[in-house]
Amino acid sequence: MNNLSRKFISGSAIVCGLFILQSCNKNEQPPQFPPMELPVSKVEQGNGLVSKEYPASIEGVTDVEIRPQVSGYLHKVYVDEGAYVRAGQPLFQIDSRMYAEQYNTAKAGVSVARANLANLKIDLDRRKELVKESIVSNIQIQQAQAAYDGAKASLSQAEATAQSARINLEFCTIKAPVSGYLNRINYRLGSMISPAGVEPITILSDSHQVNVYFSMSENDFLTFQNSQVGSTIQEKIMKAPLVGLQIADGHLYEEKGKIDAVEGQFNSNTGSVTFRAKFNNPKNIIRGGNTGKIVIDQNFDNVTLFPIASTVNIQDKVYVFSLDKDNKAVQKAIEVSGKSGTSYMVTNGIKAGETYIVSGFERLQPGMPVVPKPSNQQASKTQTKAVAGKG
């Protein structure tokens, strides 16, 4: 046999071998994935609680500018910056010597006016006796009466001057009009201060209550308005539930606040409307100038709740895995309206009572068979029902 014949026979054998292998491959079945045993549970329906947060600024109920009522040199400072003071407590003392002398002079004027009035009263009474004996005329009586009335008016004027001088003297001691915390003191001992000064001596913040201001968008405002009872916005505000305050360290303030005012119109630049909530501050934990967040809770009845931990986020969409009648995995996109604790509030995509896969779906593909097993949560509920049935 020549070389050409050998090559022909070898090629034929290779072709036949390939044909046989190809025929064998066509008869083989595609690989089958073994079923995955995964925990499942039922979608529940219940009441949802959504907490919304709004950045807020805090102010004292009363921020009072402490200004002098009289001019003079700052003689004494009784308090320090940042101190807590009570209403009526002395804060500052203006040099009062000049005002003390003015008061003494005014009091002396009152004494002179009172003595003059007494003399004219004696003269008037004497003439009234003489007119009975026809010694003096009625004109003289009228003149004495006019002099007496003038002296009486002079006494009233002198007393008013003395009262004004006394008030000015008292103004030399500047007292706290309300209780609160002092801000920075803008003047020092020896400084000349006057009512016409540009800066106040300091600012006193009354913080036994605080006003917290926050803004809502138009959509949130409409949602808030529709969820409250009342025919007017003022009635809705008065009947609105209490709100919380998250302070700067992330903790919720121990006191609840009450919304008591809302602006009459929206800000055209920001598209928001400003609310005011009032909080009691008995321990003076909060001060004016602090920042925080207002927390408003909204209740939703009979909503579909789905655990957030049992969802997958893909390109801004939320997906879950459920089971069909053959216990095969089905991937579904769901629509959510908000978060209630550790659950989503679902509006579309899955319904209460459907079976969903709780966990372990990281390598799960749609259509794969699943062997369902009760989740820990579902088993706990079953045990609870069994115990209740025995009871």
Q: CATH 2.40.30.170 occupies which residues in the chain?
A: 52-60+210-299
Specify the CATH architecture of the domain 68-94+172-199. Answer: Beta Barrel (2.40)
**Cα angle at 203 between 199 and 205, to 5 degrees?**
160
Check if CATH label 3.40.50.410 holds for domain 36-49+301-390: no
DSSP per position, 245-283: EEETTSPBPSS-EEEEEE-SS-BTTTTEEEEEEEEE-TT
Mean pLDDT by groups of 10 residues along the chain of 391 residues = 45 44 48 77 86 88 90 94 91 95 95 92 82 74 87 93 95 92 91 92 87 91 80 81 89 91 87 92 83 86 89 90 90 87 89 90 87 69 40 39
Q: CATH 2.40.420.20 occupies which residues in the chain?
A: 36-49+301-390
pLDDT at 276: 93
pLDDT at 19: 43
pLDDT at 189: 93
**Phi, psi for 283 (deg, rounded to 5):** -95, 5
Handedness of CA 82, 88, 93, 94 (dihedral sign): positive
Q: CATH 2.40.50.100 occupies which residues in the chain?
A: 68-94+172-199
In sequence order, the β-bridge partners of residue 262 are 275
Residue range 52-60+210-299, CATH number: 2.40.30.170
State the pTM of this model.
Answer: 0.58
pLDDT at 378: 53
pLDDT at 31: 53
**CATH fold label, 96-171:** Helix Hairpins (1.10.287)
Of 326, 309, 331, 312, whose CA–CA distance to 375 is shortest?
A: 309
pLDDT at 13: 45
pLDDT at 125: 83
